[in-house]
Amino acid sequence: MLKKSSALIMALTIMLVLAACGGNNAVQNNNQATEKPAQTENTQKEKPAQKTTITYWTDDRHDQEYLKELITEFNASNSDNIEVELTVLSENFNQSVDIAFSGNQAPDLLRIKSANTGVFVKKGYLEPIDNYLTDEMKTKFDSLIIDEVNRFGGKLYSLPNTGLTLRLVYNQELFDKAGITAPPATMQELVDAAKKITEVGKSEGIYGFALNYKNPKGAFDRSIREILSLSGYQGLGYDLKTGKFDFAPYAEVVEYFKQMWADGSILPGAESLDIDPLRAQFAAGKIGMYMSFSTEPGVYQDQFPTDINWGGTLAPTINGEIKGKSEIVSAGTWFGISASSKHKEAAWKFMEYMYADDVMTTYHEKGFGIAVVPSISEKAKQPDIKGMEGFLVGQHDAMWPATPSITPEGANYGDVFFKYMLSGGDLNGLVKDLNQRYNDALDKAVEKGEAAITPLADFDPSKL
């Protein structure tokens, strides 16, 4: 009796502990599953008449209503009895995806962005789509297939639809008030304009410039990145010609930002400013200029409606010469098929439906994003949203080659340069230290096979 009970208790304990620890196994199983050909449902053959339900997860919220319309239409019209279920996640998308994959509850389709595509590929979450592409699609997207953006290890995982352009956002009324006749074309002009606006507006709580410095890297990645790419340098501190990090050009721009801070041209409390409180102050006419993505026209239409006369224009360059192209960001990817999906064919059918010309054209025309596919941008009408005209893709916009994604030891460049802006220091020493740490991390990533460096000795940013 005693033995039986003890054995029962022991068995129960072991079972439960193993079950609790099963998550890790699930991850391993998942990773294995990505290496093997995906298992089709040969054990449970579906009848053609049976409904196939596929799930799509996205963290985009701005296009929700239109997306729901499209899904309703697809569900009603497709001849394969496929039904798409939409899940919109607001926060922690990447973590939710991680949990779903480790628990074998991953969606069939994912919204993937440049910030997570490479990581998702490495984690084995995504299915290559090379075998699904039609010749027509290959032609349509040919110029937009970029290594380390949507193609990894020679396999294609997603296709582009829209991208984000970066611009200087300015308040025309404050320009007029300060006697500024044209948006600044050089960094010195930007510093001067910010100073002038502050001089004429400070008594009313108006300041020349602001950025969301609560997250310095986030602030610089929407401003200095653009100034550098237009000036002919890669915007995240990477030198495409040498295949190494070099923050010297970055430091040159930081000096001007530091000057604006010293001049008192920055909105007080910008050290703790998030992007939405910044937008709220801009909408209230309290900020002369800031830099951001092509999401802003939509923001000022819906989120912070404003009557001020504002616009978007090309960012200034270091010395007024445009030697490069303004980088179009988040442009290479849209949909990705889950490697663990049991309905990859059905997922592709919905993906194909979404990549149709009329859908992509409407995306652009409704202002959900700026079309980067040439055949779409050529024929799509301008979105009818105030301010959008300043953000449209033009002759000075282009996608740049991808840069290796690495995480250095110690502080990132955003924190380092922001600290310099506030408290000074030896800028050359800081650049040297950043170069050292970033290149060390790059070497390690190459050694581990997580990054590939291909120096582009003949790279010419003006020819992008």
Partner 1 sequence: MLKLRKLQENSLFLLPSVILTLALGIYPLVWVLRYMFYDYAGYGQELFVGLDNFRRLFRDDLFWQSVVNTLVFAGGKLVLTIPLSLLLAVILNASFRGRNFLRAVYFMPTVISTAVISVVFYILFNAYNGMVNQQLMKYGIISDPINWLGPDHAMLTVILVAAWGAVGNYMLLFLAGLQSIPRDLYESASIDGANAVQRFTRITVPMLGPIMQVIIMLAVIASLKGYESIMVMTEGGPIGKTEVMYLYLYKLLFPVSTGSPVEQQIGYGSAVGFATALIVGAITALYYYFSRKMNRVF
Length of the chain: 464
Beta strand spans in 240-324 (E): 244-245, 287-293, 310-313
Residue (148 or 192) nearer to partner 1, CB: 148
Residue (214 or 342) nearer to partner 1, CB: 214
Beta strand spans in 206-358 (E): 207-209, 238-239, 244-245, 287-293, 310-313, 326-327, 335-338
* Interface positions, 329-348, toward partner 1 (CB under 8 A): 329
Question: How far, in Å, are 121, 141, 368 from residue 337 at the CA level?
Answer: 11, 18, 22
Alpha helices in 153-210 (DSSP H): 172-178, 187-201
Cα separation, 409 vs 406, in Å, equals 10
How many residues touch partner 1 (CB under 8 A)?
Answer: 57
Cα separation, 213 vs 211, in Å, equals 6
Residue (218 or 374) nearer to partner 1, CB: 218
Q: Rounded to 5 degrees, what are φ and ψ at 103? A: -100, 15
Q: How far is the CB of 119 from partner 1 (least distance, A)?
A: 6
Residue (52 or 281) nearer to partner 1, CB: 281
251-254 long-range CB contacts below 8 Å, 24 or more apart? 251/417, 251/427, 251/428, 251/430, 251/431, 252/318, 253/187, 253/224, 253/227, 253/228, 253/318, 254/224, 254/417, 254/420, 254/421, 254/427
Q: Rounded to 5 degrees, what are φ and ψ at 235? A: -85, -5
Stretch that binds partner 1, among 170-178, 256-264, 359-367, 400-408 (CB under 8 A): 400-408
Cα separation, 196 vs 99, in Å, equals 51
Cα separation, 427 vs 432, in Å, equals 9
Residue (21 or 49) nearer to partner 1, CB: 21
Stretch that binds partner 1, among 6-14, 245-253, 306-314, 343-351 (CB under 8 A): 6-14
Among 29, 405, 435, 439, which residue sits at the site for partner 1 (rule: CB under 8 A)? 405
Q: How far is the CB of 374 from partner 1 (least distance, A)?
A: 25
Tokens for 263?
Answer: 């001049």
* Interface positions, 110-169, toward partner 1 (CB under 8 A): 114-116, 118-119, 122-124
Stretch that binds partner 1, among 80-88, 251-259, 262-270, 365-373 (CB under 8 A): 262-270
Give the residue from 62, 149, 178, 451 showing the smallest Cα distance to 328.
149
Contact map string, positions 72 to 111, toward partner 1, x by CB under 8 A: ----------------------xx--x-------------
One-letter amino acid of 271: E
Residue (16 or 356) nearer to partner 1, CB: 16
Q: How far is the CB of 178 from partner 1 (least distance, A)?
A: 20
Q: How far is the CB of 68 from partner 1 (least distance, A)?
A: 27
* Interface positions, 167-226, toward partner 1 (CB under 8 A): 205, 213-218, 221-222, 225
Q: How far is the CB of 314 from partner 1 (least distance, A)?
A: 19
* 456 touches partner 1 by CB under 8 A: no
Cα separation, 125 vs 337, in Å, equals 8
The kind and range of the H/E element at 112 are none
Q: How far is the CB of 221 from partner 1 (least distance, A)?
A: 4
Q: How far is the CB of 281 from partner 1 (least distance, A)?
A: 7
If 0-12 CB within 10 Å is exposed, 13-18 middle and 19+ buried, where does residue 167 land?
buried
* Interface positions, 265-294, toward partner 1 (CB under 8 A): 267-269, 271-272, 277, 281, 286
Stretch that binds partner 1, among 243-251, 310-318, 350-358, 407-415 (CB under 8 A): 407-415
Q: Rounded to 5 degrees, what are φ and ψ at 293? A: -85, 175
Q: List residues binding partner 1 (CB under 8 A).
A: 2, 5-6, 9, 12-13, 16-17, 20-21, 31, 94-95, 98, 114-116, 118-119, 122-124, 205, 213-218, 221-222, 225, 236, 267-269, 271-272, 277, 281, 286, 329, 403, 405, 407, 409-412, 415, 418-419, 422-423, 448-450
